[in-house]
Amino acid sequence: MSIVNVGSINVDHVYRVAHFTEAGETQTALEYQVGLGGKGLNQSIAIARAGGDVVHVGAIGKDDSWTPAELEKIGLDLSAVARVDAPTGHAIIEVDLEGENRIVIVGGANQTLSESAIEAALRVDGVNYLLTQNETNAVEHCFSLAKAHDIPLIFSPAPCDESLRALPLELAKYIVLNEIELMQLAGEDDFDRAVGALKSRCPSTNFVVTLGGDGVEFIGVEDTIVLPAEPVEPVDTTGAGDCFLGYFAAGLDIGLTHIEALERATQAAAIAVTRAGAVSAIPELKELS
């Protein structure tokens, strides 16, 4: 069984800085690294490293030789990754000494995904879940194709903006998001009111709310689970939420219970924040205790 993940692929330019750059300020980075990222790719790699089976539907620039070589090195199957005229997506990321980040993305090839490519991936037998985030042009397609093919949808509304409220969110089986995204998606500035609004709009959807250092709250259709985060000294939080989501989705795919999938995801994310980078920080399943 497998997960089809329709998602972004970015080249991350990561600048370690003493503090986030202020308006009008120029500062010299303490370190600079280039690595693979993109919320979609991070989640696909997390699924694979969690022992799941994933088909990544995405796109990269046809003139880019660095990204496909790097993707091959980490074992991503490129058969559903299109080579297009637009440049590969990229991200400019500042990471401060506490491991917090600020990210600017440029969509590029991520904004050129075709509905037919997604449809082709879904037609293969044994697709258990369709997963998507908000870094491609294909979010609406994913909602309609999940319905048409009767495949449970896992949606990560990240990055979040008001336009996502117009989506048929009630069709998603799982929505995985952080506290800020929860309030943005609900159009509320209070956590409990946001949960109430989304639950009444989407009675058949399970919400997984990541709370950073405070853990995770699973507000399900049948069960509610609260798990604390593992205590760690963060080095770089970039992509930790993606690592969490990929591990959670892989857990669902292989038949773990909600609590088992959440426990694995929490452990994996705790390891990821102690390492630099996005894809490079995602642990293998054997590294979890």
Active-site positions read 242
Q: How far is the CA of 247 from the CAs of 27, 55, 78, 242, 284, in angstroms?
A: 36, 15, 21, 9, 10
Write down the least CB distance from residue 35 to ligand RIB, Å: 8
Is residue 253 involved in binding ligand RIB (CB under 6 A)?
no
The 10 Å CB-count burial string (b at 16+, else e) for 173-211 is bbbbbbeebbbbbbebeeeeebbebbeeebeebbbbbbb
Binding ligand RIB (rule: CB under 6 A), the pick from 16, 39, 49, 173 is 39
**Of the ranges 35-43, 80-88, 191-199, 221-229, which one interacts with ligand RIB (CB under 6 A)?**
35-43
Write down the least CB distance from residue 226 to ligand RIB, Å: 24
Token digits of residue 147: 């319905």
Start-to-end CA span in the chain (Å): 25
Is residue 12 involved in binding ligand RIB (CB under 6 A)?
yes
How many residues does the structure list for the chain?
289
Binding ligand RIB (rule: CB under 6 A), the pick from 5, 10, 210, 266 is 10
Nearer CB in complex with ligand RIB: 8/44 = 8
Pair 186, 224: CB distance under 8 Å: no
286 CB-side CA count, 13 A = 0
Write down the least CB distance from residue 4 to ligand RIB, Å: 19
Instruction: Looking at residues 78 to 137 of the shown chain, list those that interact with ligand RIB (rule: CB under 6 A).
Output: 91, 103, 105, 135
Pair 288, 267: CB distance under 8 Å: yes
Token digits of residue 172: 């998603």
Is residue 273 involved in binding ligand RIB (CB under 6 A)?
no
Write down the least CB distance from residue 103 to ligand RIB, Å: 5
Residues of this chain that interact with ligand RIB (CB under 6 A) are 8, 10, 12, 37-39, 42, 91, 103, 105, 135, 238-239, 242, 278
